[in-house]
Structure 1
Amino acid sequence: MSIFTPKKSKKPSFIDKILKRTPKENAIIEINNLFVENEDDLIKINLGHIQEIANRYKIKLNKKFKPLRFELFRKYIHHCLEDQVIDENEVNTIQHLKELLYLTDAEVKHMLDFETKKIFDREVKVAVSDGKLTQDEKDKLEILKKNLLLTDETAKDILKSNSNKILKDFIDNAISDERLSDEEFEKMNEISQSLGIEPNLDAKTKQNLERYRLYWTIENGELPVYANPPINIQKSENLYFMGHVNWQEQRRVTKRINYGGPTARIKIAKGVYYRMGSIAAKAVSEDVWKVIDSGNLYLTNKRLIFMGSKGNKTIRLNKILDIIPYKNGVDIQKDAGKSPFLEFSTNVDIFSMMLVRLIDEL
């Protein structure tokens, strides 16, 4: 397959004909066609040939047609990389074309790095797509790295970047339901170990992983038990949760006084009136939540234990009819007596899930 494509010279415009000018674009077209004629051995073209064309068109090639010069160079790079190998002869030709096309070392390096990284990146994506990197795949990537003349650091960065993405995508998908199962947790560790990376997670994501792992455990596994409860509980009890809460109960309070009955006003002075008539006062009241006490709450497999600054309270789990979780606490519906609202500052979700699980298992 040919590296370069022959091009026809641009015809002079009407003005060019009048001024007897030749389109200067034909200079780079002639150089392109010179490359076509010698693409089997581009080393045969010397700088004198290029300079002769530039002089004929009265141009400074190092300042003209840069995109077109880049394109010629890029075509040869693509040809070199068709077999994913850059051999010694191709390296020499690349250096020769750099001089013929007036390219700098930095420009050549940038273009070569871009194309070789793109190939290596593509092969790495295929290798790690299943979340595994076998020894055979490692060996092939090592050979490819050497054939593409990539540095160890560059190859390592490309591998790490793709591996991190595979692991992150797996984690994002695993916790999309806000749960992290045993199987998903093990798979996450397998991917991490096989690809030789540690999950690159921010603090919030790590916290979410731990919480979603606990969610799944609460719903499907063995509930975590406090080995040394800080309070005395029965031998048949296990302590599963403890935290600080405000114990609230509903209290009826008077919000305002309404006055009823026929009335009339008589002015006796500027801004002063007598209110005359029959007046009947009526209190308007409503139930509001009021903090009764603050203290520590303990959840066992049999009861809720509250130890506050003003006293202790106990609710047996089999006396709970329903619970209504909120962002800031849980409304406990009892079968008798006042039903409290337990106000939490943190972990209301963990408490609610554990309580539901324990009630269901009664």
Structure 2
Amino acid sequence: MGKCLYCQKSAGIFKKLHKECEEKYLNGRELIKIKSNSFFDKSEVVEIVELENIADNSFIPYNEFEEIMENTFTDNLLNFLDDGTLDDKEEDVLGEYMEHFKLTQEQLNKNDSLGKMVRASILRKLLNGEPSSNRLNIDGNLPFKFQKSEELIWLFQNVELYEQRIKTTYEGSSNGISLRIAKGVYYRTSSFRGHPVKTTNIVPIASGMVALTNKHIYFSSGIKNFRINYVKIITLEPYSDGIGITKDGVTAKPQVFKNVDGWFCYNFIKNISE
């Protein structure tokens, strides 16, 4: 006899669930989504106890219940950001949702939702001409030596640094005769007639930490450390999970920082350097 995945009672031979239990589970998840979303359109304001009771009666584990509540926060945040900005009222209602349903920073940081909200707030203040300020609480020491009047704005960890490298090879042919002048040594009388072929590759360099301040972007790792003044950056290329930067200089190589919020980095650097 198998046990039902939901109610844990006997499901019968070769069965893993009761259809009615599965239906109750799916309906419960959908009802929690609807009721938690109603907080944002104010069609109905429910208490967390009511939603917890729905979860209990629908065989929904508490970790899944938390995930539903977190996803509601994230979905509405992304909806607010559809126009590219997060205004004061939108940020306030997200904060009220957190407080009303007792969501912690740790819960919302699982998928970086809280971080995305704070970064959107930083951009809004920057665009409004307000001074940039630190919204982070750092535990431990950072490997960066900031300049006077320089303030940390955001920190990304586990960032992969890539650099563009150009490799030159020669393709072509030669003709003429080879004269043997010693054992195993030949000298070809004609010159090599070929042309250089350059290939560009993005190669991994190091993994470390990226800090954005009000003046520079910093990178620190065990093998490579540097900072770039924003005014020295001549190109910016945003990606879904990173950003590409080329700084001024004849020998400067394009660099890509992977595992950062490309949307935030692009807009922050572009606007703070103007």
Relative to the length of structure 1, the TM-score reads 0.40
Q: Whose radius of gyration is greater, 1 or 2?
A: 1
Which structure has more relative contact order (CA 8 Å, sep 6+)? It is 2
Greater helix share, structure number: 1
